[in-house]
Amino acid sequence: MNHSIFLRCLLAALAAAAGLAQSALAVTPAELLSAYSAQTGAAAQPARGQQFFNVTHGREWSCASCHGAMPVQGGKHAGTGKPIGAMAPAFNPDRFTDAAKTEKWFRRNCNDVMGRECTAAEKADVLSWLLTLKP
């Protein structure tokens, strides 16, 4: 993996933890995928990401509960009813362009779905699947 991409992602996460502005630390979905894959040392698997997204993990909700089984349109939070934009980057170009925001939402949503944070491999698999969804 390109060290500058990894460094940008790491700096974005550190800046978020420190409460600093993120505009200078924007990333692309592909850069985030590369960083997650580098953390695992293995290639992401889109099919595994789709399965992970659509099944429950011992709790009431799956990712699809709020985002839809094919997250190419907006969804709504299963508990609050709050609208949620499309998850697939091809349908929502703002998705996965801020490393700190991505980590924040992975942390919250994985905790809701599984009662723990997602691993880098789980994030890579889901993101790799989302990147296969095209208009």
The domain limits of the chain are 3-130
Residue 101 has pLDDT above 80, yes or no: yes
Q: What is the mean pLDDT of residues 88-97?
A: 96
Residue 21 has pLDDT above 70, yes or no: no
> Nearest 5°: phi and psi at 83?
-65, 145
Provide the whole-model pTM: 0.81
pLDDT value for 22:
46
CATH classification number, 3-130, choose in 3.40.50.2300, 1.10.760.10, 3.40.50.720, 3.40.30.10: 1.10.760.10
Determine the distance from the C-alpha atom of residue 113 to the mean position of all C-alpha atoms in its chain, rounded to a whole number: 13
Give the integer Cα–Cα distance in Å for 38 and 75. Answer: 30
Strands, DSSP E only, in 14-80? 75-76
Closest C-alpha among 103, 100, 135 to residue 120: 103
Identify the burial level of 63 via C-beta atoms within 10 angstroms of its C-beta, where 0-12 means exposed, 13-18 middle and 19 or more buried. buried
Amino acid 14 reads L
8 Å CB contact between 133 and 88? yes
Amino acid 129 reads W
Residue 20 has pLDDT above 50, yes or no: no
Q: How many residues in the chain?
A: 135
pLDDT tens-place string over residues 35-51: 999 999 999 999 999 99
Determine the distance from the C-alpha atom of residue 35 to the mean position of all C-alpha atoms in its chain, rounded to a whole number: 12
